[in-house]
Amino acid sequence: MAANNNGNGNGSKQIGSVMVVGAGIAGIQASMDLAESGFKVHLIEQSPSIGGAMTQLDKTFPTNDCSMCIVSPKLVEASRHTNIELHTYSEVQEISGSAGRFSVRIREKARSVDAEKCTGCGTCVATCPVRQVVRVQERFPLVENEITRQTDQIIASCGASRESLIMILQETTAAFNYLPEDALRTISARLEIPFSEVYGTASFYKGFSLEPKGKHIVQVCLGTACHVRGAPLVLEELERLLGIPDGKTTDDGLFTLETVNCLGACALGPIVVVDGEYHGNMTMGKVAKVVDTYAKKD
């Protein structure tokens, strides 16, 4: 905060100004509090409009209050407040100086619209003959390649509907042994689901990986029965032998180490599965032998 209070209690005159970066709900509230206490505030926002993610939400947790009802009065107030200067569609380029005396260089991007006069009615977006002049949503050009072609086939066989999303992701994983970005982008485009949501779904479920996996997949069951029978020791030994933590792949791309919650073969615990082959009653001593047999196969 580039200001100081002289601290004598009655001299409440504030000097200096404050920069707030990011005009989401937190940035707006911080700016308004600062502006109310007498500071000049520069509110910097990267996108053309303020409000951030909260304006895209329907409800807030845990009270289920309407999100726009909370945020929209603040948007208006922030833009009207005499102590707040909005810098939208701008980015911080450089900060120099030290606490108490900062210099900031801001780049305001060209938008070819007079911000003073624009009311944000949206008519220009609707009538613009050339798409994407006004940045509404970022789109990535998808260049056709082997991955997109295969993904297209998978989508065709599963059906291009929302309900098929998880099945498509499963089939794609089966085809590539992970989910390549190009595949996710193809799915997003064909199913007309925002990329963020496809990515969100892919990263939510444990069955999907966004990184390529090794040639041999080593799974250690960490179900309760295996746990009390010593599975953590087996996992530890595998981590030591392969030199990788759970969830990672060895540098030579030979082994990926994973844990699973329960394979339902509790009579044989602890269990290690390599490439779908089960090895029961594992102990720290037996692990090395199992890994060796697979390493030698190559």
Partner 1 sequence: MKLNSAKELADYRVSLADDGGPGKSQIIISTDATCCILQGSKQVAESFRAELEKRGLADQVALRLTGCLGFCEIEPMVILKDRDVLYQKVKPEDVPEIIDQTLLAGAPIERLLYKDPQSKTRFASPAALPFYQKQNRLILGMNDLIEPISIEDYIRAGGYSSLARALSEYEPEAVIAEVETSGLRGRGGGGFPTARKWTSGRKAESEDGIRYVICNADEGDPGAYMDRSVLEGNPHIVIEGMIIGAYAVGSTQGYVYVRAEYPLAVAHLNVALKQAEEYGLLGERILGSGHSFRIKVVKGAGAFVCGESTALMASIEGRVGRPRAKYVHTVEKGLHDRPSVLNNVETWANVTRIFAMGAAEYRKIGTEGSPGTKIFSLVGKINNTGLVEVPMGITLKEIIFDIGGGIPLNRKFKAVQTGGPSGGCIPDSLLDLPVDYDELTKVGSMMGSGGMIVMDEDTCMVDVARYFTQFLKGESCGKCVPCREGVKRMSEILERICAGEGHLEDLDILEEMGEYLKDSALCALGSTAANPVLTTLKYFRHEYESHISEHYCPSGVCKKLFRFEIDPEACTGCMACAKKCPVEAITGERKAPHRIDQEKCIKCGECYKACRFDAIRKARVPVAVG
Contacting positions for partner 1 (CB under 8 A)? 61-62, 64, 161-167, 169-170, 197, 200-201, 204-208, 222-225, 227-230, 233, 236-237, 260-269, 278, 280, 283-285, 288
Nearer to partner 1 (CB atom), residue 130 or residue 267: 267
- How far lies 129's CA from each of 11, 62, 105, 165, 259, in Å? 57, 43, 35, 33, 53
Q: How many CB atoms lie within 10 A of CB 118?
A: 11
Closest contact distance (angstroms) between CB of 232 and partner 1 is 8
Whether 78 and 52 have beta carbons less than 8 Å apart is answered as: no
Q: How many CB atoms lie within 10 A of CB 24?
A: 17
Nearer to partner 1 (CB atom), residue 20 or residue 222: 222
Nearer to partner 1 (CB atom), residue 87 or residue 229: 229
CA atoms within 13 A on the CB side of 200: 5
Closest contact distance (angstroms) between CB of 246 and partner 1 is 11
Residue 40 token pair? 């000049």
Q: Which H/E stretch holds residue 107?
A: strand 101-108
Nearer to partner 1 (CB atom), residue 166 or residue 254: 166
For 102, phi and psi rounded to 5 degrees? -100, 145
Nearer to partner 1 (CB atom), residue 21 or residue 266: 266
Q: What is the DSSP letter of 113?
A: S
Cα distance from N-terminal residue to C-terminal residue, the chain: 61
Closest contact distance (angstroms) between CB of 278 and partner 1 is 5
For 114, phi and psi rounded to 5 degrees? -80, 105
Nearer to partner 1 (CB atom), residue 4 or residue 161: 161
Closest contact distance (angstroms) between CB of 42 and partner 1 is 32
Closest contact distance (angstroms) between CB of 56 and partner 1 is 16
Closest contact distance (angstroms) between CB of 244 and partner 1 is 18
Q: What is the DSSP letter of 8?
A: S
Nearer to partner 1 (CB atom), residue 18 or residue 220: 220
Give the integer Cα–Cα distance in Å for 188 and 194: 6
Closest contact distance (angstroms) between CB of 178 and partner 1 is 14
Give the integer Cα–Cα distance in Å for 242 and 239: 5
